[in-house]
């Protein structure tokens, strides 16, 4: 049966995993946030999504009485708010990483803070946390070790490009978190938005190449603008292949690229004016 991304329609992905799409479609969320139900007699709910009663009902219809864990990849408002309500309704243990106070996120009140390598055990199935900061500073992916399915939240999405929004988003960390996935024994990616992705290592390489090509465009544009350039001045040149309606989103990722280049001494910035090369000190 072909994969479906219809809110309210449960999609079984294999013996252990089913997916429910939350009813929050949009330019940043695609068809909606993917909620994954992992396990058989005991179930972990990964990313329960926005606090939407219809979506919560759909989750409970599938797994009421069996939900032992609620797992958040990160605390953006399209991923974690339902976690607090679901915990109240089920008494399940809520795990993930808290966001820094400076962020307007939804911290759902974790029972346990997970660190790199920690394992959530679902009736013998191991779900291992992989720390992947970049899209968010508290982002975790989760590897279901028995099948090699990697739940990537917003670290890897299908069908759209992940927005890296400073100061919490960080392009340097994002690229390094992508590279480290090559050390993970993954067979398929189950993203926070969109369809399953086969050939995950090739996909990681493609994503890295895409970011580095964009970075090269930033450097090219900087070199052409003698006298320096502002973020606004660079935006149309760097994103000339992206529809203008998406430029407000692209602006955030452009800032992230520029911050990376400044951190690496490939560019400098004074009073919002960017130039190629290290800062003249």
Nearer to Zn ion, 76 or 217 (CB): 76
78 is known as an active-site residue: yes
Name which position in 19, 55, 66, 76 contacts Zn ion (CB under 5 A): 76
List of E strands, 56-215: 67-71, 93-96, 112-113, 119-122, 125-131, 140-144, 149-153, 188-191, 197-198
Q: Which of 78, 105, 154, 168 is catalytic?
A: 78
Distance CA 98, CA 32 (A): 23
Q: Binding of Zn ion at residue 168 (CB under 5 A)?
A: no
Nearer to Zn ion, 68 or 129 (CB): 129
Nearer to Zn ion, 75 or 90 (CB): 75
Name which position in 51, 154, 203, 215 contacts Zn ion (CB under 5 A): 154
Radius of gyration of the chain from its Cα atoms, rounded to whole angstroms: 20
- What φ, ψ does residue 174 adopt, rounded to 5°? -60, -50
Stretch of 63-71, 85-93, 113-121, 146-154 contacting Zn ion, by CB under 5 A: 146-154
Q: How far is the CB of 122 from Zn ion (least distance, A)?
A: 24
Distance CA 200, CA 206 (A): 10
Residue 132, judged by CB atoms within 10 A of its CB (0-12, 13-18, 19+), counts as buried
Q: How far is the CB of 140 from Zn ion (least distance, A)?
A: 12
Give the binding site for Zn ion (CB under 5 A): 76, 154
The residues annotated as belonging to the active site are 78
């Amino acid at each position: 049966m072909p994969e479906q991304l219809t809110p309210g329609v449960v999609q079984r992905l294999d013996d252990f995993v089913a997916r429910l799409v939350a009813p929050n479609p949009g330019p940043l969320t695609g068809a909606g946030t993917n909620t994954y139900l992992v396990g058989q007699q005991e179930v972990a709910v990964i990313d329960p999504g926005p606090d939407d009663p219809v979506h919560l009902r759909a989750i409970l219809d599938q797994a009421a009485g069996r939900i032992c864990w609620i797992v958040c990849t990160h605390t953006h408002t399209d991923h974690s708010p339902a976690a607090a309500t679901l915990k109240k309704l089920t008494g399940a243990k809520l795990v993930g990483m808290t966001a820094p106070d400076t962020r307007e996120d939804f911290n759902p009140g974790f029972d346990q803070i997970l660190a790199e390598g920690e394992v959530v055990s679902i009736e013998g199935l191991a779900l291992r946390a992989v720390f992947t900061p970049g899209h968010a500073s508290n982002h975790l992916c989760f590897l279901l070790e028995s099948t090699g399915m990697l739940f990537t939240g917003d670290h890897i999405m299908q069908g759209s490009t992940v927005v890296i929004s400073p100061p919490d988003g960080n392009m340097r960390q994002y690229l390094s978190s992508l590279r480290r996935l090559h050390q993970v024994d993954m067979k398929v990616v189950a993203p926070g938005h969109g369809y399953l992705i086969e050939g995950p290592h090739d996909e990681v390489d493609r994503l890295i190449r895409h970011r580095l090509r964009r970075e090269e465009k930033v450097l090219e544009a900087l070199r052409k603008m003698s006298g320096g350039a502002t973020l606004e001045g660079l935006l149309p040149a760097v994103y000339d292949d992206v529809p203008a309606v998406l430029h407000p989103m692209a602006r955030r990722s452009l800032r992230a690229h520029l911050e990376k280049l400044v951190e690496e001494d490939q560019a400098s910035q004074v009073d919002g004016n960017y130039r190629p090369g290290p800062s003249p000190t």
